[in-house]
A and B are shown apart, each in its own frame.
Chain A
Amino acid sequence: MINTNYPAILVLSPLLAALMCSIFSWCAKKLCYPTAIISLGISLYASIEVLMQVMDTGTIQYRMAGWAPPMGIEYRIDLLNAIVLLLVISIALINLVASYQSVNQEIGKKSNTFYAIYLLFVTGLVGITATGDLFNLYVLLEITSLTSYAQIAMGDKDRGPLASLNYVFIGVIGASFYLLGVGYIYIMTGSLNMVDVASLLPSLHGSSAVLVAFIFCMLGIWIKMALFPLHVWLPNAYTYAPTVVSRILAPLMTKVMVYVMIRLMITVFGFEYLFEKLNLAEAVVWLATIAILAGAIMAMAQKDLKKMLTYIIVCEIGYMVGGAWLGNELGMTGAILHIVNDALMTFALFLALGNIVYKLKSVHFDNLKGLFGKMPWTMAGFVLGAFSIIGIPPTCGFFSKWYLILGAFEKGAYHFAGALIISSLLCAVLFFRIFEIGFFNNEHDEHNTITMSEAPVSMLIPLGLVSLSLIITGLYSSSIVNKIILPFLQ
């Protein structure tokens, strides 16, 4: 009984816990945090079980309430979903453990209701990843967006609500475009189930309505994932959010959107349509190239560590979009591997950043002087994350970049390969500038010795785990590729 229901438990556990949290926030405040932890623990267990099942027996098709597709909503979990699900839930759980003190410090007495919103946000992300229905995806996308608007507004008192409202305007346009695209797909096929739509679309490839549907869906998703010219909402929203929120938004929100793009490309529209019927691929790879360079260059101009990292996210989005649109197996492998790797390394960097914010309050470059002396463990995690972003082996960032560059060469997209290498160099410059400030700029070193004031242990252990996982995923990346990504692509 329970074996077959894991896909439902994945989503229901945080959803019900969110309800319980909002009740507990009136009557039993102390129970909120444990409820959140337990529900995510259950979800994590379910996601591991689901991954095992998928690797053993192949794709799981779960019918919600027993209604058969295409009428009912189907949760369809294959190797790609399963790995992204595990990633989403484990990052959400680790973040909740690591950010307990930080939530108390920044959100204070509202922290109990905050946990309810946080759980709803995780529910949305998990649902987006698990669902096999186009309209269901829209609803969950809006759950995720609404909760992230609320969470961002809890941050910086001066700029938080303003950044959040700007995000609302652009997020609504993105989601509405996606909804419009789904409407066109529905007009043409009469179905909303992804697999069903995919079986009906090939006879309609010449239709201009399908083309419009595709363009609207892609535009909507690109706005939500902040691909370069559509990225304007991201840096402010992520910078002025509370630490705990930017820690989960930065690694997961954009990466789940990349997953949705890949899902639409592979499962719904199909490679044949994208790369043989449409002549868009080259233009999108150029767009991604510009996104990578623009993200890296704008990051150079920042004087605030948090804002600099948000521009690096814009740059990383370019990697994944470009890799997916190269249209060969190597590029797609690189893009999928980079979803996992980028989520982990962004998470490591933001965990370290959160520890610094917890102690220093401001992460303007001027405040970072002598940081290696003050917080050696935090900075060790930060250095590992930074190495991974730059792409130094054996950290995981190197391997996905390697696949992306190989894919670019196979396709002959030398501009994309060039952009990848240039952005690695620019990232190296960016991070070594931080290291230099943290290490050497100690004018008053002789007069007052720097006292060590490290973040609490409960914040350091998750950072240690995540930054070690960067090396472990790096070393095992060939088995991830061989066991999960390549069987999925075939």
Chain B
Amino acid sequence: MSEILPIIVAKYNYWLYIILMMIGLYAMISKNNLIKKLVGMNIFQTSIILFYVSIGYKTNATIPIIENAHGDSHSPHELIIHAADYINPLPHVLMLTAIVVSVATFGVALALAVKIYQRYQTLEEDEIRMRLTEE
């Protein structure tokens, strides 16, 4: 136990995303209501977004906007840029796209749920399946 604990604490962001991902998967697999499944799907996608956001982070670093880069300062050694001082913006930018994708997917899925509700008057999966076998 004493050996596992440091691993969990040091890499807690990975553990967090795995836990969230499993919650999402569990909801998608085991829930009967289609909207609950959709919520699970959203948690699942969000966990991956959080994973990406966390990998761009560095301790004691700031946002990647370079101060004094436009000639405000005249001493040249202030212009030296250390990569360790700035967090990596690329994963965050990628996730902007992924957020758009997940919102669009959620929208399409909700529209489909509305269509299913109009047809069967229910969103419970077992009831829909019963209706299908009756017909």
Contact = CB atoms under 8 A, between A and B. Distances in A.
B116 A161 contact: yes
A28 interface: no
Nearest to B28: A169
Nearest to A159: B132
Given A168-B112, A179-B48, A186-B91, A162 B128 contact: yes
A135 B94 contact: yes
B44 A183 contact: no
Interface in A156-183: 157-159, 161-162, 164-165, 168-169, 172-173, 176, 179-180, 183
Interface string B8-44: 0000000000000000010010000010010001001
Interface string A140-169: 001001100110010001110110110011
Residue of A139, A158, A165 contacting most chain B CB atoms (<10 Å):
A165
Interface stretch (B58-66, B71-79, B103-111): B103-111
B132 A150 contact: no
A298 interface: no
A283 interface: no
Nearest to A149: B108
A186 B95 CA distance: 13
B51 interface: yes
A153 B118 CA distance: 13
A416 to B, nearest CB: 32
Contacts, number: 67
A146 B105 contact: yes
Nearest to B44: A176
A409 B97 CA distance: 46
A142 B105 contact: yes
A187 interface: yes
Given A157-B119, A161-B112, A165-B34, A186 B44 contact: no
Interface in B63-105: 91, 94, 97-98, 101, 104-105
Given A142-B105, A180-B48, A183-B55, A165 B113 contact: yes
Contacts of B109: 149, 165, 168
Q: Which range holds the interface residue count of chain A?
A: 20 to 34
B28 A168 contact: no
B45 A172 contact: yes
Contacts of B55: 183, 186-187
Contacts of A146: 101, 104-105, 108
A161 B108 CA distance: 11
B100 to A, nearest CB: 9
Nearest to B101: A142
B52 interface: yes
A293 to B, nearest CB: 27
B27 to A, nearest CB: 11
A34 to B, nearest CB: 28
Contacts of B105: 142, 145-146, 168, 172
A92 to B, nearest CB: 21
Interface string A339-361: 00000000000000000000000
Contact of A161 (B28, B97, B115): B115
A139 B93 CA distance: 13
A183 B41 contact: no
Contacts of A153: 111-112, 115
Contact of B45 (A135, A138, A162, A176): A176
B45 A149 contact: no
Interface of B: 25, 28, 34, 37, 41, 44-45, 48, 51-52, 55, 91, 94, 97-98, 101, 104-105, 108-109, 111-113, 115-116, 119, 128, 132, 135
10 contacts: A142-B101, A146-B108, A149-B108, A158-B135, A159-B132, A169-B28, A176-B48, A180-B48, A183-B48, A186-B91
Given A146-B108, A161-B112, 17 more contacts: A139-B97, A142-B104, A145-B105, A157-B119, A159-B132, A162-B116, A164-B112, A165-B34, A165-B113, A165-B116, A168-B41, A168-B109, A168-B112, A173-B25, A176-B45, A183-B51, A186-B55
Closest 4 pairs (CB-CB, A-B): A161-B115, A165-B112, A142-B101, A161-B112
